[in-house]
Amino acid sequence: MNYQEAKAKLETLGQSHLLRWYDELGDMEQEALLSQIEALDPALLEVFKNYSSSGESVRGVIEPLGALTMEDIAENKEHFESAGLEAIRQGKVGAVLLAGGMGTRLGFDKPKGMFDIGVTHPLYIFECLIHNLMDVVDRAGTFVPLFIMTSEKNDEDTREFFEEQKYFGYNPEYVHFFVQDMAPAVDPSGQILLEEKGRIATSPNGNGGWFSSMVKAGYLGLLQREGIEWLNIFAVDNVLQRIADPCFIGATVLSGSESGAKVVAKADPQERVGVLCLEDGKPSIVEYYEMTDEMITRREPDGKLSYNYGVILNYLFRTDKLTEILNNSLPVHVVNKKVPYVDENGNLVKPTEPNAYKFETLVLDMIHLHESCLSYEVQRDYEFAPVKNPDGVDSVVTARELLKKNGVTI
């Protein structure tokens, strides 16, 4: 895109300020800015307009969805595990680590997986995850292909770290990196922000685009060639994450469901967690802030909360279904965050409070594109220790306690 074309596009979008410093930029910076402008998706600005006028999305008819409980799972453990291990040995299972997030709440300026959660010795978050995956590798006697999604902002650091740490003993031939897409940030009036005079403020566009980014990176061929039928998607920040868990895989495969989600029973009705339920008869996740009081407190005849099962960002998807829904669009979520920006005088401002809006699609919305999802209950203290904050809830402090409880020397 040349300058004139960029100017015309921005005029139509009401974003001409992005070229304010154009004449001051060097050739390379000018070119980079023009390609950022070319890549700007006008649809996101429309999303923001609708968001600022209505503020919320419209949901269908929501109903509770139970789960395969821990008791059900214990009764069938051997059966499920042997089916899962068989699928892994046949090379039918891959794992996808979502590590493209910015981890702003943690306030660590490197990729979150590089955070050292150890106390008496270094213990990196990535190391915990690989260690957990090695349990399965040892049992199955084969490595599980591991795809790692990074973003433009942390790709180099992440790759270098894995190299430096010799992949924590994992076989590098089974590790495949890919980079997710970015989206611009806007101020409350919908004006796109610049993070430098010649650079639009962008951030990773959420974890919902992971499969399309994988395909863009050319991995569909590999999935098909290797016969990888299932992908286990998981978050970087849960240090107790069980990855490619044979029991979960076996239970999902044998259930005939199109997808599977690990869930934990809510700690209390008000817990701020997305709940797996049915929406218009299909599986779906309702965020805690979308639930009415009636939904929050409703109970089943056995006394359990009707909307009881919170998701922990550990899902199983079928590759063929993912390919089928590849071009289906996901809802775009608008989130209020702190975004450094260059003001109209050319000064860099580092806000201390959320000042801008980012656009994200979320992997949890993919569940609703499936006809069925096995809701698979796991024990919170053994499988869920998210590191979102430095202290308080879901923090370094709580995760350390849970690691200790699980016998990990920290």
Question: What is the nearest approach in angstroms of ligand UTP to the Cβ of residue 22?
Answer: 29
Structure-token pair, residue 66: 């139970």
Query: In sequence order, what E strands does 299-408 have?
Result: 309-318, 333-337, 341-342, 348-349, 356-360, 374-377
Q: Does 312 bind ligand UTP (CB under 6 A)?
A: no
Closest CA to 357 of 201, 192, 102, 186: 186
Encoded one letter per residue, x for contact with ligand UTP by CB under 6 A and - for no contact, window 363-392 reads: -------------------------x----
Question: What is the nearest approach in angstroms of ligand UTP to the Cβ of residue 115?
Answer: 11
Encoded one letter per residue, x for contact with ligand UTP by CB under 6 A and - for no contact, window 235-274 reads: xxx-------------------------------------
Q: What share of the chain is helix, strand, coil (3-state, %, to 5)?
A: 40, 20, 40
Encoded one letter per residue, x for contact with ligand UTP by CB under 6 A and - for no contact, window 162-181 reads: ------------------x-
Element (H, E) at 262: strand 259-265
Question: What is the nearest approach in angstroms of ligand UTP to the Cβ of residue 313?
Answer: 6
Cβ nearer to ligand UTP, comparing 207 with 319: 207
Query: In a 3-state reduction of DSSP, which class is residue 335?
Result: strand
User: 87 near 226, Cβ under 8 Å?
Assistant: no
* DSSP 8-state code for residue 172: G
Question: What is the nearest approach in angstroms of ligand UTP to the Cβ of residue 76?
Answer: 30
Q: Give the binding range for ligand UTP (CB under 6 A) out of 1-9, 102-110, 224-232, 394-402.
A: 102-110
- The three state secondary structure string of 336-354 is EECCCEECCCCCEECCCCC
Q: Does 100 bind ligand UTP (CB under 6 A)?
A: yes
Using alpha carbons only, how large is the chain's radius of gyration in Å? 22
Of 205-234, binders to ligand UTP (CB under 6 A) are: 205-207
Phi, psi of 149 (to 5 degrees): -90, 125
Residue 392 contacts by C-beta under 8 Å, 6 or more apart in sequence? none
C-alpha separations of 7 from 18, 175, 314 in Å: 9, 42, 44
Question: What is the nearest approach in angstroms of ligand UTP to the Cβ of residue 101?
Answer: 2
Q: How far apart are CA 283 and CA 249, in angstroms?
A: 18
Question: Which one of 1, 102, 296, 410 is in contact with ligand UTP (CB under 6 A)?
Answer: 102
Question: What is the nearest approach in angstroms of ligand UTP to the Cβ of residue 102?
Answer: 4
Question: What is the nearest approach in angstroms of ligand UTP to the Cβ of residue 151?
Answer: 6
Cβ nearer to ligand UTP, comparing 132 with 180: 180
Q: Does 44 bind ligand UTP (CB under 6 A)?
A: no
Q: Give the binding range for ligand UTP (CB under 6 A) out of 31-39, 63-71, 99-107, 303-311.
A: 99-107
Q: How far apart are CA 356 and CA 377, in angstroms?
A: 37
Q: Give the binding range for ligand UTP (CB under 6 A) out of 114-122, 157-165, 199-207, 266-274.
A: 199-207
Q: Please identify the residue of the shown chain whose CB is closest to the bound ligand UTP.
A: 101
Question: Which one of 40, 48, 87, 101 is in contact with ligand UTP (CB under 6 A)?
Answer: 101
Q: Does 103 bind ligand UTP (CB under 6 A)?
A: yes
Name the residue type at position 4: Q
Cβ nearer to ligand UTP, comparing 99 with 378: 99
Closest CA to 101 of 180, 162, 194: 180
Question: Which one of 68, 85, 99, 291 is in contact with ligand UTP (CB under 6 A)?
Answer: 99
Question: What is the nearest approach in angstroms of ligand UTP to the Cβ of residue 354?
Answer: 11
Cβ nearer to ligand UTP, comparing 68 with 364: 364
- Beta strand pairing call for 341-342 and 348-349: antiparallel
Cβ nearer to ligand UTP, comparing 104 with 142: 104
C-alpha separations of 73 from 69, 146, 332 in Å: 6, 26, 35
Query: In a 3-state reduction of DSSP, which class is residue 128?
Result: helix
Positions touching ligand UTP (CB under 6 A) are 98-105, 112, 149, 180, 204-207, 235-237, 313, 388
